[in-house]
Amino acid sequence: MSGHPYLSSHFPGIGGRIKQDPADFIVEEIPLYPPCGAGEHLYLEIEKQGMTTLELLRRLARAFELRERDLGYAGLKDARARTRQWVSLPGVRLEQLGAFQAPGVRVLRAEYHRNKLRLGHLAGNRFRIRVREVDESAVDTARDVLHVLEQVGVPNFFGAQRYGVLRNSHLIGRALLAGDFAEAARQIIGDPDVIREPRWQQAARCFRDGDPAGTLANLPGSHADERRLVAALQAGRDARAAVLGFPRRKLRLFLSACQSWLFDRLVAMRLASLDLLWPGDLAYLHGKGACFLVEDPAAEQLRAERFEISPSGPLYGAKVRLSGGQAGLLEQSLLDAAGLSLESFRLPDGLTMEGERRPLRVPLGQPDAAYVDGALQLEFSLPRGSYATSVLRELMKTDEENGLDAEAPEAPLG
């Protein structure tokens, strides 16, 4: 999100630092529905820190001799935080829970339910965040900014966490969509002028200079997928085959990053009128997740002011519907400027991205700010699929180096 404007630009940033301790960033899932109390799936509410959701699932699968894919979860949570989330285990009984122990993990509740918990089956998340290295005057500014966000909505940016360590995942995705596999390979190995780790930097320099042997000699062992890509090129495979040999999940992450980058640019372009409907907008119904065409913006604007509906933007894909009118012209121009079309997202080998509509803003629930024990304590809720970093960015107005990129998603969009 670096370089994007602020919705609350008329208020100063409070600065500060976050995530100095896992307890400084507490996230609690808001379930879409409670477990019914009967059924073959055991739902666990788990508090964890220092562990990703995927690692938690691996440990649970081993402990109860289950296949990881049979476990259910509603959302992915960061390791650098204290998080509370629900998971479901098929065929596990309450009396078996004593068999599971892991450092930094506590089971808070256990209830039976009839169905597996599915990704996205949550209403949202509740956050309690401590911002350190700010003085008590930050409370008044924070309350003013939170009031603006509560009235207008939170800009629904994905942010820097979507773009990887080198901030170039979207460029890899764009190269894949454009069919430029040589460029995709260069971006995957990385720009030596951006890379900080010495061996990786040297490997990237060798790759840029057309020296695959030198690249392999310097690439750190942790870069196993990159090593296989370079080895394939060294063995004479073309760039397309070498790049498509990358793990499918990572390729989809790159494609998802390109979707996110285009969406973030659209949010930035409409930031000054984020709460206003345009002719031809596809308005997002917050209660249903569906969209409808806005033919008369003036007639629908009152519903937007009540936060029943919001302007939406595309996560571009082969089947996504674009807006009409002025809104549609902007959406198409973004795609044209990237050198892409909707058909670009129709890819082989299970990589097609169908696309969907996403609201340009989201409601901020129950915001609060107080000065507690020498730090600013923030509390608020957001609907699923949106990020606390968008709220923190408006408050802090600092770069992403102090931890605003720490909510990195672990799974691609569809």
Residue 377 to residue 371: CA distance in whole angstroms = 6
Contact at 8 Å (CB) between 255 and 353? yes
358-25-364 Cα angle (round to 5): 40
User: How far apart, in whole angstroms, are the C-alpha atoms of residue 35 and residue 129?
Assistant: 28
249 within 8 A of 138, measured Cβ to Cβ: no
Structural element, H or E, at residue 111: strand 105-113
Neighbours of 194 (CB within 10 A): 12
Enumerate the β-bridge partners of residue 86.
45
**Pure H helices in 86-211:** 138-152, 169-178, 181-189, 198-208
The Cα–Cα gap between 56 and 23 comes to: 18
Q: How far is CA 242 from CA 224, 283, 292, 325, 363, in A?
A: 14, 42, 42, 42, 43
Strands (E) across 15-141 are located at 25-31, 41-49, 72-73, 82-90, 105-113, 122-131
Catalytic residue ranges: 78
Query: What distances in angstroms separate CA 413 from CA 142, 199, 200, one per listed residue?
Result: 32, 32, 29
Backbone angle region of 240, left / alpha / beta, with phi > 0 → left and psi within -120 to 50 → alpha: alpha
